[in-house]
Each structure stands twice: as C-alpha cells, then as structure tokens.
Amino acid sequence: MSKPIYVINGPNLNRLGKREPDIYGHTTLAEVEAMCREAAGDTGIVFRQSNAEHEIIGWIHEAIDEGAGIIINPAAYTFTSIAILDALKQFDGPIIELHISNIHRREAIYHNSLVSKVATAIIAGLGPHGYETAVQAMGRLVTDSTN
Ligand code: CA2
C-alpha cells in the first residue's frame, strides 16, 4: 500500500467553524477532514490536530518514517516554533504549509513564517477549501518526487 499524506493542524484549529467565521469561515475541522479524504481518493490521509507542540512534533516524526507528504497548518506555531521547523527539516518528501487566511494581509505578527523556510509550497487565503487544493497539489508533488 502507498504511504499516506499527513495533514497536521496546530493550536485552536479545533475551534474552526465555531468562532471568527469572518476570518476562518463556517466549516468545522471535521468537515475539513471529510473534504481532505474526498479529495485524496484512494490515497490515505492521516488527519491530526493538537494544541500541544510536542504532539505535533511527534506526528512529524511519524510522517518522517511513514508518510509520503506533509500538509501542515501550524497556526500560531508557524511564527514561533524552531522545534517544529527542526522536525520538518528531517522530512525528505514534499511539505505544503497551509493557512486558511492570507497571513500577509493580516497584522505584522503573522508575517514572518519559520515554516516557510522549509516548505515546498505555501497556500494561504483560500479559506477552508485551501485544504482540498493542498491535497490535490500534494498528490502531484508526491507523484513527481517518486518518479
Ligand atoms: O489562517 C490560518 O490558517 C492560521 O494558521 C490560523 C492561526 C493563525 O495564528 C495563523 O496566523 C493563520 C490561528 C488559528 C485560530 O483558529 C481559530 C479557529 C476558529 C476560531 C478561532 C480561532
């Protein structure tokens, strides 16, 4: 069986669809997961969310051993976590950094992503549907990197 794509979500994203719909939309994280599985077709999806940095790092380690690609919305850790950056550096496959909102249109604290330094590609500002786009794009990146 082919390796799965890891979709990893950071702090507060479990609240998606429940607060600040003007920024993050009305879609819940469970609906985002369903969207990802639908977009992936036969490719396996490992979908995770945590508010704890160490758990996110653990899933990146798991992806290093078992994953074909990583789609990561590190949320606030995007801008603060050298530990997540160091973990991602160990991953050999494609990495898509994903943000629901366009971080560059927002306050300056959201402008300097550490994760972008190791991301293969960045998707931001497409709303929750950005996840669908990311899964489709990851399918192509994984095929390209294994051929
Ligand atoms: O736009 C994104 O996806 C972000 O990664 C979301 C993060 C923010 O720190 C990033 O700069 C951009 C915040 C996640 C907060 O999630 C919420 C979800 C629902 C309601 C309130 C917050």
Residues 110, 114, 118: CA angle, nearest 5 degrees:
135
Q: Which residue ranges have their beta carbon within 6 Å of ligand 1? A: 12-13, 15-16, 19-20, 24, 73, 75-76, 78, 99-101, 103, 110
In angstroms, rounded to a whole number, what is the distance separating the alpha carbons of residues 103 and 124? 7
CATH of span 5-146: 3.40.50.9100
**pTM (2 d.p.):** 0.96
Q: What is the pLDDT along the chain (147 residues), one digit of tens a residue?
A: 699 999 999 999 999 998 888 888 899 999 999 999 999 999 999 999 999 999 999 999 999 999 999 999 999 999 999 999 999 999 999 999 999 999 999 989 999 999 999 999 999 999 999 999 999 999 999 998 876
Cα-Cα-Cα-Cα torsion 76, 50, 32, 21, nearest 10 degrees, comes to: -50
Name the residue ranges covered by the structural domains of the chain: 5-146
Q: Which residues contact 47 (CB under 8 A, 6 or more apart)?
A: 7, 9, 33, 36, 37
